[in-house]
Amino acid sequence: MAGSTFGNIFKITTWGESHGKALGVVIDGCPSGVSLTEEDIQVFLDRRKPGQTAISTPRKESDQVEILSGVFNGRTTGTPISLTIPNTSQKSSDYSEIASYYRPGHADYTFEAKYGFRDYRGGGRSSARETAGRVAAGAIASKILREMGITVTAYTRSIGPVSIDMTQFDKEAVFTTATCMPDRQADEKATDYLKECMMNKDSVGGVVECIISGMPAGIGDPVFDKLDALLSRAIMSIGAVKAVEIGDGIHVSEAKGSENNDAFVMRDGQITKKTNHAGGILGGISDGSEIILRAHFKPTPSIFREQETVNKSGENIKVTIKGRHDPVVVPRAVVVVESMAALTVLDACMTNMSAHIDHLKEFYNKSRT
């Protein structure tokens, strides 16, 4: 219950600190028979790699994943898949300074309040490196979802004041621009904005949006495990997220019912909706439309200006943080959002298979013949 496990049937457990020997994840409940290689996972991990663009610092982490169990002859066996990612790039720098005080905006103080002390090397368990395990597991969940006809796509919606123009949506750009924006013009503007931030020794926040397509209607549970509730928890559990929106999100609180309701309409013999203010979920259950969610990320807390804080002796001090830190977390967080959404949706789909007695009867009668 210390909260490193996520999911009910497709269940992942992540472990590892920023500057320990390695990070990793164990995936339990993965169906057997899924074709899987390290390369399938590596492409996801590469999307969160640091040190690759003008708007990120020149740190290098190779993040090479290794499959230690659960795969045999190229297919998953149904038993736990253990993935490790060695930590190779940790500078053996002197952490004694950072160990002595609490960085503003970081979890230094709260970890000590809970556990009595902390692994202060690079943020320890509260480092964004912790998400590597999530992404490795998310790669597998995404692969399974694709085989089921469901795709999950996240991208940068905005960085600071610069938003994408949805009419210019260019999915390819998500994977090729430094900002992960699906709009090359916005990418340029955001890049300029970020360079200015870096010059000012400051950082900035942004928004990641995620679309889940191909989702059948009827997935999710009606009360505490509403699909949007589980997605919110999944997304808010990513460090630096401070708000989660589904569909029209915050705008619903100023909307009228006559604007916000989505009319149902028949299309090609299927029940669909004329609009999608709801973001694909009604009463906690998918309605067959695209599921849309947004995560608001705070600015990177590590900035290179002088800041006020407190040290472990209880003295007010002024500090200037050193090290290698991106001015915005959003581009690297895109694949993390995508992974958490995929994990949540796959788990909900698996749970849903026994929702109706006819499913059980059909499944078990078939297995008898």
The span from the CA of 314 to the CA of 234, in Å, is 35
CB 152 within 8 A of CB 342: yes
For residue 149, is it left (φ>0), alpha (ψ between -120 and 50) or beta? left
Closer to its own copies by CB, 185 or 276: give it. 276
Give the shortest CB-52-to-its own copies separation in angstroms.
Answer: 21
CA nearest to 100, candidates 322, 324, 315, 323: 315
Give the shortest CB-176-to-its own copies separation in angstroms.
Answer: 23
Closer to its own copies by CB, 172 or 367: give it. 367
Helix (H, G, I), strand (E, B) or coil at 367: coil
Closer to its own copies by CB, 172 or 368: give it. 368
Closer to its own copies by CB, 172 or 308: give it. 308
| Reduced 3-state DSSP string for 54-105 | CCCCCCCCCCCCEECCCEECCEECCCCEEEEEECCCCCCCCCHHHHHECCCC
Burial environment of residue 290 by CB neighbours within 10 A (0 to 12, 13 to 18, 19 or more): middle
Closer to its own copies by CB, 177 or 232: give it. 232
The span from the CA of 282 to the CA of 278, in Å, is 7
Closer to its own copies by CB, 82 or 153: give it. 82
- CB environment 86-110: b (16+ within 10 A), e (fewer): bbeeeeeeeeeebeebbbbbbbbbe
Give the shortest CB-364-to-its own copies separation in angstroms.
Answer: 4
- CB environment 30-58: b (16+ within 10 A), e (fewer): beeebebeeebbbebbbbbbbeeeebbee
Closer to its own copies by CB, 12 or 174: give it. 12
Give backbone dihedrals phi and psi of 310, rounded to 5 degrees, phi first. Answer: -125, 145
Give the shortest CB-283-to-its own copies separation in angstroms.
Answer: 2
Give the shortest CB-83-to-its own copies separation in angstroms.
Answer: 10
Closer to its own copies by CB, 119 or 335: give it. 119
The helix (run of H) or strand (run of E) holding residue 26 is strand 22-28
The span from the CA of 36 to the CA of 79, in Å, is 13
The span from the CA of 303 to the CA of 328, in Å, is 10
Q: Which whole-number Å values give the CA distances from 45 to 1, 49, 286, 334, in the listed order?
A: 27, 7, 29, 11
Give the shortest CB-110-to-its own copies separation in angstroms.
Answer: 4
The span from the CA of 104 to the CA of 242, in Å, is 16
Give the shortest CB-43-to-its own copies separation in angstroms.
Answer: 20
Give the shortest CB-328-to-its own copies separation in angstroms.
Answer: 9
Closer to its own copies by CB, 17 or 44: give it. 17
